[in-house]
Amino acid sequence: MVEAIEGSAIRKVRLGKSDLLVSNIALGTLPFASYRDNKNNFSELVSYAYSLGINLFDTAEIYDNYKLLGESLRGLDDIFVITKSYAVDEKDVDRSLLKAKRLMSRDVDIFMLHEQESILTMKGHLKALEYMYKLKEKGDIKAVGISTHRVSGVRGALTFLELIDIVMAIVNYAGLGIYDGDRDEMESALLDCYNANLGIIGMKIFGGGHLTRAIDRAIGYARSLSFVHTFLLGVETVEELKLDISLFSGLQVEEGLLESSKRKTRRIEIEPWCTGCGICVDRCGQGALILVNGKVEVAFDRCVLCSYCAQVCPDFSIRVV
Ligand code: SF4
Ligand code: SF4
């Protein structure tokens, strides 16, 4: 086990208008989605994160890792779990929540609508949103949120302030993965949400892996965003978490550590048996997949490694390697 971090800047913050006191760094579990080839020790990572004061853990229905997360969190006190679903109505919400609770053997604290694009998308999910709000009123969940890769998604949340507590959105210094705008437009939209007392969660501060070679800059940018309550870190090892927290805390890191800790650069790989059906191309909100002569090609500079495409391929032709 890696030792504690002296001078760590991890602290608890109130997440907007919710009652939740969460750590200003949260552990993202996308790297441990069932369809990733990660074989690292997730439980060890969760224990280490918890020992550092991290009490917020993020997953999603499509990551398909509820059981793994539930087992790793067993016995930990004062923690909060976020999950996300594509529910459009009451029935979907009930089904999603029940599945999450059953597989994790614990409650869901923050329930979010996944990948909301705009006011229109949210209007299409209004029944689900209103029902989620009712569940919160009843005490079944603690907060309602949305996640989005779009400025228009963040702005959409401002239209539903009475229903939504928390917005999770892409923030990184290069604006990578922001589908419909740049980093300044995203900052401005998030600041408006912050001023409206919404809880703000920043995700993809490393741009889906593209910015890990400038990790100190990526974390430095995140630290400068005072309107973001907490940042998701989707790390794979305790060593990576230790380095990120040290940088986030403004601590001197050992010489050479930055260099030697270079993360495995991940990318999407298309298997030769791809049939060219195009389902993944339609699914990719980043425009990173293109059909060329009946096969899919990846525009790596646009890919944020969200893995959504791998989820929909009927032939398991897409892998994150
Ligand atoms: S190619 Fe796949 S992993 Fe990359 S951005 Fe598109 S959906 Fe996400
Ligand atoms: S969904 Fe799968 S099989 Fe279809 S085009 Fe994409 S990679 Fe190929």
What's the pLDDT tens digit per position in 232-288?
A: 999 989 989 999 999 999 998 876 677 765 666 678 889 888 999 999 999 998 899
- Which whole-number Å values give the CA distances from 76 to 142, 236, 239, in the listed order? 18, 20, 21
Answer whether 12-260 and 268-320 agree in fold: no
Decide: residue 254, CB within 10 A, 0-12 exposed, 13-18 middle, 19+ buried: exposed
Q: Please state which CATH class domain 12-260 belongs to.
A: alpha beta
The closest residue, in CA terms, to atom 6 on ligand 1 is 284
d(CA 218, ligand 2 centre) in Å: 32
User: Ligand 2 test: best mutation among 268, 269, 275, 316, most atoms within 8 Å of CB?
Assistant: 275
How far apart CA 241 and CA 220 sit, in angstroms, is 15
For the chain, the domains span 12-260, 268-320
Q: Say if pTM beats, i.e. exceeds, 0.75.
A: yes
Q: Which atom of ligand 1 is nearest to the CA of 283?
A: 7
How far apart CA 209 and CA 321 sit, in angstroms, is 12
> Of residues 259 and 65, which shows the higher confidence score?
65
The mean pLDDT of 129-136, rounded to a whole number, is 98
The closest residue, in CA terms, to atom 2 on ligand 1 is 309
Identify the bridge partners of residue 148 per DSSP, sorted by sequence position: 169
How far apart CA 135 and CA 142 sit, in angstroms, is 8
What are the tokens at 218? 């990526």
**Which of 3.40.50.720, 2.40.50.100, 3.30.70.20, 3.90.380.10 is the CATH number of 268-320?**
3.30.70.20
The closest residue, in CA terms, to atom 4 on ligand 2 is 277
User: Ligand 2 test: best mutation among 35, 309, 315, 316, most atoms within 8 Å of CB?
Assistant: 315
Q: Does the beta carbon of 197 lie inside 6 Å of ligand 2? A: no
Q: Which atom of ligand 1 is nearest to the CA of 304?
A: 5
The mean pLDDT of 131-151, rounded to a whole number, is 97
